[in-house]
Amino acid sequence: MALKETPSVAVVCGGPSAEAEVSRTSGRCVAEALQTSYANVSLVELDDFIAGAQGAARADVVFPALHGPPGEDGTFQGFLEMIGAPYVGCGVQASACGMDKVIAKQLFRTRGVPVAKEVVVYRSDGVQRGIEKVRSRLGEDVVVKPTNQGSALGVLFGDDLTDLAGAIEAALEYDERVLVEERLYGREITVAVLERNGFEALPVIEIVCPPGSWYDYEHRYTPGLSDHVMPAPLPEDQYRRTQEVSVMAFEALGCRDISRVDLVVPEVGEPIVLEVNTMPGMTPTSLYPDAARGAGLSFEQLVAHFIEQAYARSR
């Protein structure tokens, strides 16, 4: 099959993020897959792309395979808007809101998306005052998260007062604000949402890690340390509801093209949305490509769909 000469594509990866190495792996995988369909595909480091973006040569479509700030929080998307470059994925507002876990939860509530109870601790509060707020509202069995990081970076569990203090201090090294949520128990679930003739929830996946562990950075990106069970073994009504609230979360943020919704699904009751990843990983161990294959889309077809959709928006 002859390769398409247009559109030309720049896959952008790397940058200063704590997730830069994961981004580079995603970028390589995306670029290699796109090279099976398009003749003009380049893989570009974020800094190099920005430095050369004002030059005469510019790609027809940008695929920002970027994870974490500044590539996933709306900053890079704003730059692309400024220079008039069509790109894959969520726009400025959805990217910014999706990266900020506190703002995202506020938007989820406006759409009726079920979420966990939370307390926001500010650096100016001090750790002790933050602990008092958390204990009075949530107790001590909680999860502590930086508000603007992905890939589970900085996420810790506080089971008692000592652990909680250490967890808040560690999370404050990433951000000025820390999100502390009640700890939920149930199945770790993820739902990929794809814009294709509307918003489509792909097959639901359960993430299974070895006993005593959870889906942290190591278990996300180390082959063999987690299993993706697809379709997730949920009762039919709960399975459908999980897909439904995932699309609701996608809509609440104003996402487009692609996002992945992470949830906890208890034994009985509503699935609880934890967060939306507006540019999910595209590595060999990533969940979104698995879900797409479950829906009958090869990785090559998936990334080509995103390019064609972004290119059509520019016409």
At residue 55, the pLDDT reads: 42
Local confidence band at 57 (pLDDT 50, 70, 90 cut-offs): low
Tens-place pLDDT, residues 79-129: 999 999 999 999 999 999 999 999 999 999 999 999 999 999 998 988 889
Decide if pLDDT at 60 tops 50.
yes
Active site residue 281: yes
Looking at the domain covering 98-113+185-295, what would its CATH class be?
alpha beta
In the chain, CATH 3.30.470.20 sits at 98-113+185-295
Burial status of residue 30 (CB atoms within 10 A of its CB: 0-12, 13-18, 19 or more): buried
Tens-place pLDDT, residues 147-206: 876 544 556 766 555 678 888 888 888 878 899 999 999 999 999 999 998 999 999 999
The third-level CATH classification (topology) of the domain covering 118-182 is Dna Ligase; domain 1 (3.30.1490)
Active site residue 19: yes
The third-level CATH classification (topology) of the domain covering 9-89+305-313 is Rossmann fold (3.40.50)
Decide if pLDDT at 68 tops 50.
yes
At residue 12, the pLDDT reads: 96
**Taking residues 68-73, what's their average pLDDT?**
91
Tens-place pLDDT, residues 252-308: 999 999 999 999 999 988 999 999 999 999 998 899 999 999 999 999 999 999 999
The percent of residues above 90 in pLDDT, for the chain, comes to 67
Sign of the Cα torsion 100, 314, 287, 12 reads: negative
Active site residue 154: no
In the chain, CATH 3.40.50.20 sits at 9-89+305-313
Active site residue 195: no
- List the catalytic residue out of 118, 175, 188, 262: 262
Global confidence as pTM: 0.89
Between vectors from CA 255 to CA 275 and to CA 297, what angle results, nearest 5°? 90
- List the catalytic residue out of 19, 72, 100, 257: 19
Mean of all residue pLDDT scores within the chain: 89
* Helix residue spans in 35-160 (DSSP H): 46-52, 75-83, 92-99, 101-110, 127-137
- List the catalytic residue out of 74, 87, 260, 288: 260
Tens-place pLDDT, residues 192-251: 999 998 999 999 999 987 666 555 555 555 566 678 999 999 999 999 999 999 999 999
Burial status of residue 125 (CB atoms within 10 A of its CB: 0-12, 13-18, 19 or more): middle
